[in-house]
Each structure stands twice: as C-alpha cells, then as structure tokens.
Structure 1
Amino acid sequence: MAKLDEKGWWIKKNGESVHPERVKIEDKLKDEMIDSILGKAAGVTEVIKKFKEDAYDEVDSYFELLLDKYGVETKKGVKGFTLENFSGTAKIQVATADNIIFDEKLQIAKKKIDEYLHEITQDSNPDIQQLISKAFEVDKKGEVNPRKILALRSYDITHPKWLEAMAIIAESVEIVASKQYIRFYTRENQRENYKQVSLDIAGV
C-alpha cells in the first residue's frame, strides 16, 4: 500500500499528497497487486529461512555423531565438508567463507615485493610482473581483492625477499567475519555432473 499522510491522502514519489479519489484506478490496482505479491514473498522467505535452519541442525547432528564415534570433542577449525548419499546421486556441501581484510603490514609486503622485482627486473617474466602489480590494484572503495593477494603465495618463487613478503602478508591477514553456506546437489547417476538445487527465485 502506498504511504499515506496524516489526512489519509496518498503520498507520491516526489512527496506530493494526492486525495484518494484522484488516484487512478490502475495505480490502486497496481499497489494492491504489489502488496499481494510481496506479502506472499515474505511468507516464502520465512519458509526458506526455516528450511535452512532445519538443514543446518540436521547436518550438525549427524556431524556430532561422527565426532562422538571417533572421540573428537569439537569441530572447531572445520571449514567445510561434503556429505554424499550411498548411491552418489545427492550431496550436501557445507562451507565457511571468511571476510578477510589486511592491516597496514600489507604495504610493507608490497615494498618487499617491489624490492624483489627491482632486483630481478632483467631476468623476470613481464607477465608475472603484471600479475603481481594487478594483485595490489584497489577497487572503488580503495580496497584490494583478498583472493588476488592470497593467490600470490601459490607462486613458485624462492627468492628471500619474496618469501619474506609472503610471510608478512600472512601476518597482515585479519578475519573480520565468517559466513557459513549450505548447498544441495543432485544427479540421476554417477555418469552425470551434479546440478545444484536452486533456492534462488531467479534460478528456478
């Protein structure tokens, strides 16, 4: 329903108040339709929220049984796991994604990398130099991409300054938040690829 002022008049987008009798019938019908659909959407959201909570509870209960069986007291440190059914036609994946930022030591690491690049300029691959430089590019918010920064550690480089820079990067990592995800997959048989069960209205 459109917002109303203290007199019960309909408030337009520009803030102007309009007497109910002067509101077009199609606008009233449109508002009723939108309210109806959004009301149903809110109900669906609650159903999905409850389903998600129940799914986590059931998976956690099963995992607790495994911990108990093997004498492990806690699942602390477990970032993710996959549960697959007996026939290999359905699976559930639970994963944890960390929201990572870097403290001021990242700039020190960048200086070390610059020193390394300066030392080996003549012998280095220009493509590698470009990849390293791109890793430190910032977005519109002035933030680097953690995935690109952490990917630098996978490079097979043994130069002392590079290794020192990688160690500093590891020290600069700060995990500010973690979010857990649960995803569902099915397939008809093991010869097919798994397809994710979509809980996103756009993907249905």
Structure 2
Amino acid sequence: MAQIDDKSGHWLNKKNEGTHPDLIRADEKIKDELVEKLIKQAIELSATLNVFKKDAFEQTNDYFELLLQNYDLDAKKNSKKGNITLENYSGTMKVQIANADSISFDEKLQIAKLKIDECLHELTEGASPEIKTLITKSFEVDKKGEINAKKILALKAYDISHPKWREAMIIIDESIEIVGSKAYIRFYTRDRVDKEYKLISLDLAGA
C-alpha cells in the first residue's frame, strides 16, 4: 500500500502531495499493489538467503575445524583464511570458499603516477596513443571519488622495461593497503566428472 496521510487518508505521491484514493487510476493502484507484493517477497527471499549463507559458512568452518583436530592442530591458532574447495565423493558437486581482500592505495600512488607520466613523456615517440589513454584512465576516480584497484593493478601486466616504469610499479606495490576482507561461497554441480561444473546461481541477476 502506498504511503497514506494519517489525517486525510490521501495517498502520497513522490512529491509528498496527497491524492484522494478515488481519484487514482485503476492501473496505478494495480501497479502499486504489484510492486509492494514483489518487494515483500524479495525481502523474504533475501532473508532466507542470508540465513542459508550464514549456515553454509558455519558448517564449512565446523568441517575445517574437524580436519584441524584430526591433524592435532589448534583451531584457534589456525583459522581458515585461504581459499578451499570441497567436493562430494563422486566429484559431481563442489563448494568453493574464496577470501578476497579489499584494497586501497595511500598517497604514494600519486608518486607512482608522476613516475609514469615522466616515463610516458620520455617514450612519447614509441608509446601508442591507446596505451597512453588506458594508463591515464586507470588513475581516474569514479563517482564516489575512488580509484579502481583492478585498473591500477592491471598496469603491472604491461611489458615496459623503462626504469621509471619499473620504479612506478614498485611504488604501486608499496602504496597498497588492505582495508578489509570478504569471504565468498559458491556452489557447483555437474552430471559426470568429465563435464564442466556449472554454478548454482543464487543471484537473481544471474539466474
């Protein structure tokens, strides 16, 4: 149901203006009911997925702790930090847990940018405009004012032997800061071991 003015009973629109229910078109009322029904279902489904995700992580952690005990290792001192893959006995189902670090860059990134600028200036005749454009765009910020870490790290793939370029790559490594870590869990199945695994999509956009 749309937001209602408590005093008048009017439906409130996007401008917070009230309209008597009898003056609202039938299709608008149907749309309002449809959107609210779907949103309610989506919220319930999201809550179910969150519970499943939490439970899945707990069960895999319990299994890993059991392994540690079997090999006489202290679970408190040897927590699961790396990526692991669990397969069923037949090799037709697997669960993958991956840990990804969120990275940022400190002020030395700008030093690296200046080094790269010097390098490109010295290589003006030999550097293609496309590479220069890609490198420049790597340092652009998004709408939130943040640098795209993947684009910065992708610079390390360029086969450029210029001393200032190599120095810039070292400075980039020194500028990296780990600001957080997130664990992901994914589920796969296949009919036979000679087939490729297929991801079980739990994302509506990918379903």
The TM-score with structure 2 as length reference comes to: 0.80
Deviates more, 1:55-64 or 1:174-183: 174-183
Q: Deviations over 1:84-118 (max 9, x none)?
A: 22222111111223332212110111222333444
Q: State how far apart, in whole Å, the 1-side matches of 2:35 and 2:132 are.
A: 54
CA shift at 1:60, angstroms? 0.9
Structure 2 residue identity aligned to 1:60: N
CA shift at 1:134, angstroms? 4.2
Give the SS at the match of 1:13: coil
| 1:109 matched to 2:120 | no
Give the SS at the match of 2:15: coil
Contact 2:98-2:183 at 8 Å conserved across structures: yes
Give the SS at the match of 1:15: coil
| 1:135 matched to 2:135 | no
Q: CA RMSD in A?
A: 2.7
Contact 1:67-1:75 at 8 Å conserved across structures: no
Cα pair distance change 1:34/1:90, threshold 3 Å: same
Q: State how far apart, in whole Å, the 1-side matches of 2:101 and 2:66 are.
A: 26
Q: State how far apart, in whole Å, the 1-side matches of 2:19 and 2:124 are.
A: 71
Identity of aligned residues (%): 53
Q: Deviations over 1:146-173 (max 9, x none)?
A: 1121133344555543333222112211
Structure 2 residue identity aligned to 1:107: Q
Q: Which runs of 5+ in 1 are unaligned?
A: none
Q: Deviations over 1:22-80 (max 9, x none)?
A: 3344444443333333222222222111111110111111122233334263236x242
Q: State how far apart, in whole Å, the 1-side matches of 2:132 and 2:148 are.
A: 17
CA shift at 1:181, angstroms? 1.2
Q: State how far apart, in whole Å, the 2-side matches of 1:130 and 1:197 are.
A: 38
Contact 1:106-1:168 at 8 Å conserved across structures: yes
- Aligned residues between the structures: 202
| 1:75 matched to 2:76 | no
| 1:85 matched to 2:75 | no
The TM-score with structure 1 as length reference comes to: 0.81
| 1:37 matched to 2:12 | no
Equivalence for 1:94: 97
Q: State how far apart, in whole Å, the 1-side matches of 2:206 and 2:22 are.
A: 41
Equivalence for 1:46: 47
Deviates more, 1:25-34 or 1:35-44: 25-34
Q: State how far apart, in whole Å, the 1-side matches of 2:95 and 2:102 are.
A: 23
Contact 2:116-2:165 at 8 Å conserved across structures: yes
Give the SS at the match of 1:106: helix
Contact 2:120-2:127 at 8 Å conserved across structures: no
| 1:194 matched to 2:177 | no
Give the SS at the match of 1:94: strand
CA shift at 1:17, angstroms? 1.2
Structure 2 residue identity aligned to 1:74: N
Q: State how far apart, in whole Å, the 2-side matches of 1:175 and 1:62 are.
A: 28
